[in-house]
């Protein structure tokens, strides 16, 4: 039975890769569904396959770690009209066809973006830098090809601050996990999802204010 399922999945994935600009393709695996479409008939088929593979590898891990109630159906759309990197909302990730064509090894854009789906904060009262910092921390921890994509956490600089977001905040979170309290990111993510973030959140989770944590981090930032 397992072999039959594997063969069926392979056929569906092959269809998705070869008809990206011709319609909507639905792929299912291990309880999750990925709907793939786009408007670029020349988009690299091999790259599309890598995006698909990355989703099915990392999304179940992110769901298990942070939010077992996350969406079971996710949509990918490769868009020639979008000129950022990628954007996520309502269970849908829009990838810039232009960006991905120029950065074919940066496939863990998938990991960052689908973490936003797992986060599912909605109109959270928490700060945006926490949201993006957690998403990049998830990429750091669960990414499948960060080195190949030339993506890594930055070295600490005195000009940085905890609320710089993205990779700067992600590195700060990695340091907290390693040097202060393991499980902080998971608890912080839960607080954000419950819309319970407040001025005391960091102290409640770690025993320190975020300002005090940053001072400790700045004094010895090795992770």
User: What are the tens digits of pLDDT across the range 83-118?
Assistant: 999 999 999 999 999 999 999 999 999 999 999 999
Please report the pLDDT score of residue 12 as a whole number.
Answer: 37
Averaged over 37-51, what is the pLDDT?
96
Residue that is last in its domain, among 69, 84, 119: 119
* Secondary structure of the chain as H, E, C letters: CHHHHHHHHHHHHHHHHHCHHHCCEEEEECCEEEEEEECCCCCCHHHHHHHHHHHHHHHHHHHHHHCCCCCCEEEEEEECCCCCCEEEECCEEEEEHHHHHHCCCCCCHHHHHHHHHHHCCCCCCCCHHHHHHHHHHHHHHHCCCCCCCCCCCCCCCCCCCHHHCHHHHHHHHHHHHHHCCCCHHHHHHHHHHCCCCCCCHHHHHHCCCHHHHHHHHHHCCCC
Question: How many whole angstroms separate alpha carbon 64 and alpha carbon 82?
Answer: 31
We report the CATH number of the domain holding residue 53 as 3.30.2010.30
Q: Is the pLDDT of residue 19 over 70?
A: no
pLDDT class of 22 with cuts at 50, 70, 90: low
Q: Do residues 39 and 109 both lie within one domain? A: yes
Specify whether 151 is located in the same domain as 206. yes
29, 98: one domain: yes
pTM for this prediction: 0.89
Q: What local confidence, expressed as pLDDT, does residue 92 receive?
A: 98
The pLDDT value recorded for residue 24 is 82
Query: Residue range 140-144: average pLDDT?
Result: 98
Q: Is the pLDDT of residue 141 over 70?
A: yes
How many domains are contained in the chain? 2
pLDDT at 20: 57
Q: Is the pLDDT of residue 214 over 50?
A: yes
Q: Are residues 110 and 137 in the same domain?
A: no
Query: Are 194 and 96 members of one domain?
Result: no
What integer is the mean pLDDT of 176-187? 98
pLDDT exceeds cutoff 90 at 4: no
Containing structural domain, residue 205: 128-219
The pLDDT mean for the chain works out to 91
């Amino acid at each position: 039975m397992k072999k039959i399922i594997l063969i069926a999945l392979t056929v569906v994935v092959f269809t998705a890769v070869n008809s990206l600009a011709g319609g909507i393709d639905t792929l299912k695996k291990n309880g999750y569904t990925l709907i793939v479409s786009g408007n670029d008939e020349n988009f690299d088929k091999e790259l599309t396959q890598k995006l698909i593979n990355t989703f099915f590898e990392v999304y179940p891990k992110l769901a298990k770690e942070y939010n077992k109630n996350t969406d079971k159906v996710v949509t990918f759309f490769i868009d020639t009209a979008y000129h950022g990197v990628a954007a996520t909302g309502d269970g849908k990730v829009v990838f810039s066809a232009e960006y991905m064509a120029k950065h074919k090894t940066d496939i863990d854009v998938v990991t960052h973006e689908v973490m936003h789906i797992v986060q599912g904060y909605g109109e959270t009262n928490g700060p945006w830098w926490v949201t993006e910092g957690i998403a990049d921390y998830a990429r750091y921890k669960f990414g499948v090809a960060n080195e190949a994509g030339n993506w890594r956490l930055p070295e600490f600089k005195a000009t940085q601050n905890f609320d710089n977001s993205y990779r700067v905040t992600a590195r700060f979170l990695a340091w907290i996990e390693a040097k202060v309290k393991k499980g902080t990111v998971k608890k912080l993510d839960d607080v954000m999802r419950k819309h319970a973030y407040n001025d005391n959140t960091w102290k409640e989770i770690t025993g320190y204010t975020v300002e005090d944590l940053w001072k400790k981090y700045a004094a010895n930032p090795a992770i």
